Amino acid sequence: MNPWLLHLPGALLSPAELSAARLDGLLFEVGDAYMPADLPENEEARALSLRPLLVPGYGLCGPTAAWVLGAGDTAPLRHHLQRVTKHRPRVAGSASVVLHEMQAPAEDLISIASLPVTNSLRTLCDLALWADRDPNYEKWFRLFAECSTDLLEGAVERLRARTRMPGKRAAIARLEEISSSRAIRTM
């Protein structure tokens, strides 16, 4: 997707002008940005809409990665970023961003619109691990699991292979529950 097709408030058009174009049916909202109504919303558009929030040295993870990868219709209220570099960059705090300091391994990252994003399997595992601690993660886990059903078995295998991981048993049970309820629905 051409980044020029994504309109960020205050860049070329004011928020009022963008809102008026949205009301006229010319644009629609994608995260914190707007794009032409005749273009399909895809992973690149969702990722590019978050570019202003992305801190150098961090990538998109958790509910934010799930949204970029196709779960849900609207972006999460708070965006989750995870460190992707060895060093810890200095970052100013923001109410709309949650920073996760543990470094994401390179093999768990993909690039969407030149932005680092945790891959689908890693995102599903992270959401399953945190779903019992945060209701927001539970919501995004359910949304992402519904659009990533082919990853459920792989996520269970990945979590079983890990040792000494807090919340591992609950996450595996959560993944197996989704998998078995899906199997029952397809019968």
Whether pTM > 0.85 for this model: the answer is yes
Q: What is the CA radius of gyration of the chain?
A: 18
The CA distance from 42 to 1, in Å, is 9
Whether residue 86 contacts residue 57, with contact meaning beta carbons closer than 8 Å, is answered with: no
State the Cα angle at 46 between 154 and 2, rounded to 5°.
120
Position 42 scores a pLDDT of: 92
Please give the DSSP secondary-structure letter assigned to residue 11: S
Position 187 scores a pLDDT of: 52
- Give residue 13's pLDDT band: very low, low, confident or very high (50, 70, 90): confident
Q: Using one digit for the tens of pLDDT, what is the confidence trace for 101-146? A: 899 999 999 999 999 999 999 999 999 999 988 888 999 999 999 9
The CA distance from 175 to 159, in Å, is 10
